Chains A and B, each alone.
Chain A
Amino acid sequence: MKKEVKNIFNQSYEQHESKVDPASIWEAIELQKGKKKRRGFIWWFVGPSILVLSLFAYQFFGEENITETATSEIVENGQKAISSLSANEEVTLVEEIELKEEMVGSVNKTPEANINNVIKRNKLNQKLKPASKEVEISNTQNNLEALGNSFNVKDINQLQQSRDRKVNGQVNAITNIGNSVKNAPVDLVTENETAVVIEEKLNDNTSFSVLEAMEKLKVLEQEVVTSENIQSESFQKKMVNFADVSKPEEKADSRTKFNLTVLGAAGLFTDKFIDADPDSLASRIESESALESFSSEILVGIQFGKIGLETGVNYHRSNRVMEWSSKYFGDIDGRLLYPHDPNRINPSLLVSGAAGDSSQIFYYKHTLRKYNETHTVSIPLIINYTHSFKSLDLGLYGGAAFHLMQVNNNDVLSHNGILIDQRKDLFISRRPDWMAGTFLDYKLNENISLTSRVGLRFRKTQESKLAVQTNFYTLGLGLKFHLN
């Protein structure tokens, strides 16, 4: 071909502009980009779950911190106040206890009650050094309010309603205060505060296993304590050695526990096809889309303190849709003139014919859809780390699921577009699925917990040269039965 002619064609090509609506192209691109962005749904799934777990954790850990702070403030402030007592001044423990009990009971009640408390508090303060009076009043008031708030709201009412469930918490509170007393120099108010705390607890907990130690404190309530006799041998003998106070919770934690979990889960997943030649994957990538997955499992667990092991049986099902849109041209009556894209799922739809008059050709599209399922039965082996707090167990887990069998109920397209029937195809995959996630258990009672799990499960399946990497994102709910 002559150079001159080639140049003419080149110029024609360079300068030609096809009619196009850039706005619609841009809109379509944005939509396509949006679709890709939506693949970030994983984070929409995992993100809120982490947030919910964090809120739970904050709610309960936060309350614990407030209680501990209030208690330590009481002890600390009490120490400051009593350090100003002179040797011959005395304050009865009973008097203090009575006052505090009334304050505890009347906080947030009536103005009259509060006035009475102020009068009583002033009487008490008269026995203290005038120089430190203001500090003491303020301290005592703060202490009482803190004590009142914490016990009124958190402990006293709840103790009456659910005594047994709170036993561990009470022991912790007592032990915490006890340790503070033990570590601090022995002084009156520290013991008073301790006694008050225990007094509150004892009223409702006569069956409490640490009653022996508490009984010693009961004796102390009736004592008239001064700065002098606090050092006396007889008084010292009556002091509670808080190191002797047993910690039933720790003992319980160290015990081996068994549990049975029944769990159902649902979620979404993504497929990634891996092959040396990307073109050969075109048919499958074009045709297959992930839908959703379900699983159910029964797990038997053994817990050693914070670490646990679980195993059992897991049934897992994933659903996919395979669809192919064939495109062809026809005349105005819908008669096929010639096919454009043969339908890979059902090639018989392809109709050959001669090209017709282009002025009368219309564009047609026909979509065929099939649903595929993959069923897997596996034995999971899971290790978990649990942090218990009151009625909640929060933890992390990870492990593998070893396949017992996998059944495909599939039709797939081969690299050259031929339909391959994999229905009722049964095999065992040597590769285990890997799992990881978080869980949150809520103890409904001593025997049953409501358990929830947010997790990831990774599966790699080898099909001839083709590998399919599937990532499952699941949310599970179930019941955990504590067997001892």
Chain B
Amino acid sequence: MDIGRLIKRLKKGEDQAFKELVFSYSSKLLTTARVYCNQTREAEDILQDALIIIFQKFDSFKGNQEAELLAWMRRIVRNKAFSRNRKFQVKNELTVGEYLVDVEISPDALSSLSYNEIMQLVLDLPDGYRQVFALYVIEGYSHKEIAEILYISVSGSRSQLTRAKQSLQTKFTKLSKISYK
């Protein structure tokens, strides 16, 4: 696919180009929606809303590379998911006083798993864990920034991340053992 040409056609507002975009990038964008939504069922709604915004606001996209396009679209999907989450005010704070021990995920635990399996385990995390984990590990935000994005406290962000890592480590270990067997 000639991405430069597709971008030009999208800027002209061609419906057919938008259809091509939807068919080419829906699956990747749905992953983003699933990472940041509160429920998997919501992910497709978020994706649809985000795609319409993408189409309407395509003029504001300045890049001409596929990576830039994908990053821009993912940002819109993510923002849409957060905006929707805020509407329903679902908070995923941990109980105050809960004792948490930070863990480190071992690269060895990941080595036996495919990228797809790893991502599937991330997607299976509870909402709060998954969102904080993705923002911190994948997007590279600080806990302060995550707290602002998710309307939670900084300590809440830290604890969610710790719980996410604990959960993932446990799952990776189990899966590694199964695969070794």
Interface of A is mostly: helix
Q: Please give, as numbers and ranges, the residues of chain B lying within 8 Å of A1 by CB-CB distance.
A: 104-105, 137, 165
Q: Does A25 contact B (CB under 8 A)?
A: yes
Give CA–CA (A9, B140) in the complex, Å. Answer: 11
As a 0/1 sequence over residues 1 to 25 of chain B, the CB contacts with chain A under 8 angstroms (1 = contact) are: 0000000000000000001001100
Contact yes or no, B138 A13, CB < 8 A: yes
User: What string of 1s and 0s marks CB contacts (under 8 Å) between B88-125 and chain A?
Assistant: 11000000000000001111001000011011101000
| Interface hit among A187-195, A234-242, A248-256, A278-286 | A278-286
Q: Which residues of A contact B43 (CB under 8 A)?
A: 18
A323-342 vs B, CB cutoff 8 Å, 1 = contact: the mask equals: 00001000000000000111
Contact mask A1-18 → B, CB, 8 Å, 1/0? 110111011111101111
Residues of chain B within 8 A (CB-CB) of A283 are 87
Contact A22 B22 (CB under 8 A): yes
Tell me the minimal C-beta distance from A167 to chain B in angstroms.
Answer: 60
Interface 0/1 of B123-150, CB less than 8 Å to A? 0000000000010011000000000000
Is A13 a contact partner of B35 (Cβ separation < 8 A)? yes
- B107→A5 contact, CB < 8 A: yes
- A33's nearest neighbour on chain B, judged by CB, is B52
Which of A1, A5, A12, A22 has the most C-beta atoms of chain B within 10 angstroms of its own C-beta? A12
Question: In the docked arrangement, what's the CA distance between A206 and B88, Å?
Answer: 83
Of the four ranges (under 10, 10 to 19, 20 to 34, 35 or more), the interface on chain B belongs to 35 or more
Range of interface residues on A (Cβ < 8 Å): 35 or more
* A8 adjacent to B110 (CB under 8 Å): yes
Contact A13 B31, beta carbon cutoff 8 Å: yes
Cross-chain contact A12 with B115 (CB below 8 angstroms): yes
Query: 5 closest Cβ contacts across the A-B interface?
Result: A17-B27, A16-B119, A18-B30, A12-B119, A12-B115
User: Which B positions have Cβ atoms within 8 angstroms of A?
Assistant: 19, 22-23, 26-28, 30-31, 34-35, 38-39, 41, 43-44, 47-49, 51-52, 55, 83, 86-89, 104-107, 110, 115-116, 118-120, 122, 134, 137-138, 165
Residues of A within 8 A of B (CB): 1-2, 4-6, 8-13, 15-20, 22-23, 25-26, 28-29, 32-33, 279, 282-283, 286, 327, 340-342, 363, 416-417
